[in-house]
Structure 1
């Protein structure tokens, strides 16, 4: 049995290579809900090629991190034309890694994923920064206290810039704790992927595309099996799809696993009674 570190002992360093691989594999699996024949190797090869292209633009002398990031941004956004899809922000393809690479359009988290994958291949691990309402990335090295906004052309920015961006989004002054850049920890792959999945779920909810919403809900349950709210949502999607026996099974599990006074339990129990009387 693996021994846990003693209380107060330093945690082992994050395995950035393993996280990068897990993120890419997860992103490919997500895209397969729409493109079932997509292969991980094909996507990885495209990212390898992007990294080789950037490497060819680097100066021969030793490259410091900021110069590397500037070169990545110049190549991806300036030369190849990657961009944030502000015109059709809620397109499903913005969340599919293969389509982001093909169309060179995406949302903050998927463009951030492409950027992170390229930087990782060039020896600069990056992490997702979990800012509510927006997604940015940052070098994993805590001494590099700046952010990259992959949706805004790979712009390198600092804490004050992030506050301005969030203030525009929320239309009110936003202040961030500067310490989060010095104590940053990698956003675990399952949380990163869950954020991608939640974006897709919201899109399918808006479209009332319940078959796709149910598929995404199942993915979300895989990232967090203890999420009872997601279990409930899966049951509701099955109800909308008129898959009543499966709906009853899932919602019964939700009721059995939930505290009696939990939100929505009584509503779900009433729905189950009506379904069983049919």
Structure 2
């Protein structure tokens, strides 16, 4: 080591913050992989990226330089879903490891959004105009081709027609009153998702799993990342504060809940959060 210099690596959170600082050039695969450092502290993110690069190199050898985009897409899907065997974890859908890219690369089983992250890296590496789609309840991917658009379910590898997509949307539309005069075209649900939105969806999937399991410590770790990614998402302060309360740390809980209360004057649960803060401070009800 050079005297006078301390080459300390950034903390996992600091590393993640650097990756997601700017939207321009945000490295989706690297940032998504880094999420797993909470569960796997010794994870070498660069090694994971190298593994995906090796898959891309194998894939490129199967494609001619002048190959039509549609044929490149077919080659990609054959390689990803059939030859490598990537697909949905139908037996244990809510396993947190389905959201960890390093585990997904080993098991070849995950959930739609993490499967999509790897698929997108390969598709874009082939020069395809591919993007993620934040479809309600089930993340999709799409490719814009010279003769139209292809939408694919990364969980199964199935190419979906407009009729398929409409059928999948029906339960969501009914639940949200988006019928008759309030109906909107399917195309509005197929907008490309930005990398920041994809990362937020991965983290919120993990958040819901940890909340269901009442695993507050892991939920707080997810909230820390969400607040780095989305610093103005005030409800994430609320949810972290409530998790701190479950952990028995009243001061950290109050700190987060007060941020939420200060920033959300019109929130429907603001009075409930005010009462929760009073309880945490052991103050009498006003």
- In structure 2, C-alpha distance between the alignment counterparts of 1:192 and 1:50, rounded to whole Å: 22
- Which consecutive residues of structure 1, in runs of 5 or more, have no partner in the other structure? 1-16
TM-score, normalised by the number of residues in structure 2: 0.80
**Structure 1 residue ranges, 4+ long, deviating more than 3 angstroms after superposition:** 140-144, 164-176, 178-181
User: Aligned pair count?
Assistant: 256
Residue 263 of structure 1 corresponds to which residue in structure 2?
Answer: 268
Corresponding position of 2:185: 177
Asked whether the equivalents of residues 107 and 151 of structure 1 are also in contact (C-alpha less than 8 Å), the reply is yes
What do residues 127-150 of structure 1 show as CA deviations (whole Å, max 9, x unaligned)?
A: 111210111111256863121211
Q: Which residue of 1 aligns with 2:161?
A: 158
Contact residue 134 and residue 192 of structure 2 kept, 8 A? no
CA offsets, 1:94-140, max 9 Å, x none? 10011111110011111111110011111113111121011111125
Q: Secondary structure at the match of 2:67?
A: coil
Contact 1:82 1:104 in 2 (8 A): yes
Aligned residues of 2:98 and 2:104 also touching (Cα < 8 A): yes
Q: 1:61 to 1:212 in 2, by over 3 A?
A: closer
The equivalent position to 1:223 in structure 2, one of 217, 224, 229, is 229
After superposition, residues 127-276 of structure 1 pair within 5 angstroms as 127-140=131-144, 144-152=148-156, 154-167=157-170, 177-180=185-188, 186-259=192-265, 261-276=266-281
Q: Is the CA contact (8 Å cut-off) linking 1:111 and 1:150 kept in structure 2? A: yes
Structure 1 length-normalised TM: 0.83
Query: Retained in 1: the 8 A contact 2:166–2:186?
Result: no
In 1, distance between residues paired with 2:78 and 2:129? 19
Q: What secondary structure, in the 3-state scheme, does the structure 2 residue paired with 1:151 have? A: coil
Report the alpha carbon displacement of residue 180 of structure 1 after superposing the two structures with TM: 4.0
- Corresponding residue of 2:123: 119
